[in-house]
A and B are shown apart, each in its own frame.
Chain A
Amino acid sequence: MTERNRGPHVLVRSPGPAAGTVAGRRDGLNGRRRRSVTGSPWTPYFFLAPAALYLVVFQLVPLLQEVWLSFTRTTLLNPTFSAWVGTANFQSIFANPAFRQTLLTTLVYVLACVVGSVGLGLGVALLLNGRFPGRPVARSLVTIPWAAPGIAVALIAVWMFNPQYGILTRLLRAVGIDPGASGVLDNPQLALGAILVTTIWQLVPFVAVVLLSALQAVPQELVEAAQVDGAGRWTIFRVVTWQVLKPTIGLVAVLMTIWSLRRFELIWLMTRGGPIGSTRTLVIDLYAQAFESKQLGTAAAIGMVGIVISLIVIVGSQLVARAAAKEA
């Protein structure tokens, strides 16, 4: 509202949609540029209200309830009764070595997802950006992993890692890695790796396609000028391509971080957080606390930790991006 009141045009406007239209027509005839469309000051709220109301009911209110739950002792068996316990849930999760293991697993999982997907995605993008026959078809087909539903991906991964007959288990045996009788997904040393391979397989196409479109902004005349000057491929990449890609890579990395922090189905369906907690990330821990241990308060506290981490990532990345923009 304050923004709108700054302009002198408000003086000629009286409330009501009809008057708004008249004012709008006058704006048009005067040929002046307006930042907003005509109508009363309530017009934007008219368009905004249904969605805003919806998000308040189905996102904001549940979120606030979850915040409140994190300070209570509430069980799934009797969810309408909550006892206020202050910060006890937070104290108990941080005192628990298993939760520290969860944080560490989450860190490893997220970092590996980001590095793996961005690194390989960049490689695939550079590969597909070159000239070769059938390029449009290749660019489409490469996105298939990302388009496949996560549930189906989990299912095929479980089958491919089947302890006896899985094709990947056969492959591992062939190269001399024995995952043991109960298979890769039940092996504490290998399970997280298997989940990472599956996750990264699914993420790489998305990163590649995004970076591929960013690559179109690389000025070709600059590349050619560098070639004329005798610059090698690596130098051209570092001096020209990388500089163009940097902001997009930063952005994709943040996106991959947030997505990996909240990824649930794939991990839950492949291992349920096991064996012996080796694939238990924050979201898995949260879900298991709520629906297996039936401790809604503890689960909510774990959720809050996840939210704080995500917020730190987002705010931190914004600060870095801003500092980088200032430097440039």
Chain B
Amino acid sequence: MKISYQWLSQFVDLKQIEPQKLADQVSVTGIEVASVIAPDAGLKKIVVGHILATRPHPNSDHLTLCQVDIGAEEPVQIVCGAPNVAADQYVIVALPGSRIANNEKIKRGKMRGEASEGMICALQEIGFSDSVVPKEYLHGIYVFPEAKPVGQPVFSFLGMDDRLLDFDITPNRADTLGMHGAAYEVGAMIHEKPRFPEVNLNESGAKSSDLIKVSVAEPELVPQYLLKVVENITIKPSPLWLQIRLWNNGIRPINNVVDVTNYVMLEYGQPLHAYDYDQLSSKQIGVRLAQADEPFVTLDGEEWHLRPSDLVITDGAKPVGVAGVMGGLNSEVTDQTQTVVLEAAVFDPTSIRKTAQWTNLHTEASTRFEKGINAADVETALRRASQLLADLAGGQVCEGIAIGNQQVRQPLQVQLDPARVNHVLGTQISRQEMLAILQDLQFDYQDQADKILVTVPLRRWDISIEADLIEEIARLYGYDKLPSTLPTGIQTKGSFNRRQQLIRTVRKNLLAHGLDEVISYSLLTEPQAVAFTHTPKPAIKLAWPMTQDHAYLRQNLISGLLLDLQYNLAHQQNDVAIFEQGNVFQTVDNQNQPKEVPMVAALWSGQVKPTSWLTKTRQYDFYDAKGEVVNLLTVLGVADQVQFVADDTIAQLHPGRTAKIILADQVIGFVGEIHPNEQQALALPVTYVMQLDLLAILNTELPTIVSESAAKYPAVERDVALILDQNISNAQVVALVKENGGKYLTDVSIFDVFAGEKIGHHKRSLAYRLHFQDPAATLQDEQINKVMLKVTSALTENLKAQVR
């Protein structure tokens, strides 16, 4: 709500504090003031003019020549195109050299041959929004309802010299959605007691309760429901001072009755509604839940089929309003209305919230009912509106109130322990200071032996426990006065757990090897979410995704990396080596929450980085990816236990260029090339990826490291070159060598792979270096020869190897 500085100063002495300074203070002690709005900002030389005479423009069928008194010695001629211009109007004149809305400059000029000394303005032309301009002036110039001093700036006559503090309230402080609440808040801050005028009513004639019968079917949902009848009213525009209050708060003035209900809502924060009494055929008002699909037309002309959870107001039979949200077209106040029924109520916030949400009718009224109402002022607001209708519409206020329900709870009493306040805040605020703050808040209290018993007024329904009162003390005492300390007490150990250490190790290693880290979205399309996994689970879908691109929870990290690659390729970044560490989501039978598995995945595409004038460029290949995986597994201590097995089971990967990674009989990941079909579909060059399940690695028990002295005896190396059938894998050879290499074989490394004509079709040559070491003695040639013979004959026998 936009709190008018001028209006506020009628309730509380603002001690001449500048609006901006007041706003800053309110922000620091209570409610964030998003901005201070000056409606006349940027406008100048806009004055009241009195149209003395008009005549049609000789060269136009829609322009009018106006003789306008602008307070100068002579009247000036202004050309006006508005259809509603007429003699004897008091109007807004933008003089030559003036600035109007949007920083537009007005110059003296000629229009179709006739001089024009400025412009007669519509409200929109001096910065009003279409949504607040009274309907009669929406398509023409604005005309003051009464004479104003000509030549004077218009701003003060239109409320534009006011300053509006835009209170950006949090949901708990809806008590400031009315001027009274705002006055209490500001008053507490500047130690001023707010003062509100009394409501004095002259009631006469019939009793409200005789004129209208009221019944509330759901008293639980409607703790207060009060009606008052005002007769013999004359519908007309409201006085300008009231219209100003409305339009400065974004509400369009309609007529005196509607305006009064809105005005009192701004005053008290209590939404009111006015029904045309004569449209209520049975002279009854009921409150009940709607029937399923019950049809209803709200006063904005919209047609609804209501739900059984919606509260409706009825004329005894059919709905005439959606409670707390919007009235109906069938009981709307019109120019012909003579008698109105005013309604002031409290509705259940949850009920109103549900209705406002599904209908998407977030009105000034529904917002307030949702967030809470000052139960103490419901009747007062009703009486205040009646008083204004008597004053402004000549109405006759009927006696008393027709009560549907009037349950007003007792104010809460909350104990405040001054020691507790200081214990929580870390302060040494004296009891006297605390009592002074409670006084500033206008809270009643009893200063008891050790505690203070505070009676919380109903207008502060956000306060119900001691912690709430501690906040009141703290904010008004001033957070700037809090000391700055650090928690003391028993020392605690700060450290990363094993999982966090493992993840850090993984990231650190990949970074050290030149892979850039990325963070992709966890929510993807369904095909993206379920791709690249050996164990696809049912896709987990959002109930109401924002877009189809982000609707399913990912089960792999590769799809995200591919999106990152595509983005980079589209921006001429062709050499990409990236990785991501993050969770994938897997449904688990009989378990509500999915399993979240920490994974790491990497992607390589384009030229090997970094390139330089010293190195020959080449493209990333399978073995770059695999090498990185092995490196990671080594650092994580499981490389020895891992097997790479050719794999053609993941549809998005090349069936001949993919290995699954197996640790203790469990598939923990894969490394491979993106399938050519997939590459084509995504317009990618040849790309390699890997993914590892870090949870599986984390769950692997590692032996304690026990060091040994480095061997002092010479090691022996022997090379062996083999010609093999092409389909014999390196893994087979190595396994056989290890099996037959004896206890001194420490390592087998391949150092050459060759295929070509010389060797023959479907053959290839593999060359290995075998490392032998006896930790306790020097190895003898005969020993090694014997082993080598065993190895080569095993290779020959089992793999038909030909030793070169």
- Does B associate with A? no
Interface residues of A (CB under 8 A from B): none
Interface residues of B (CB under 8 A from A): none
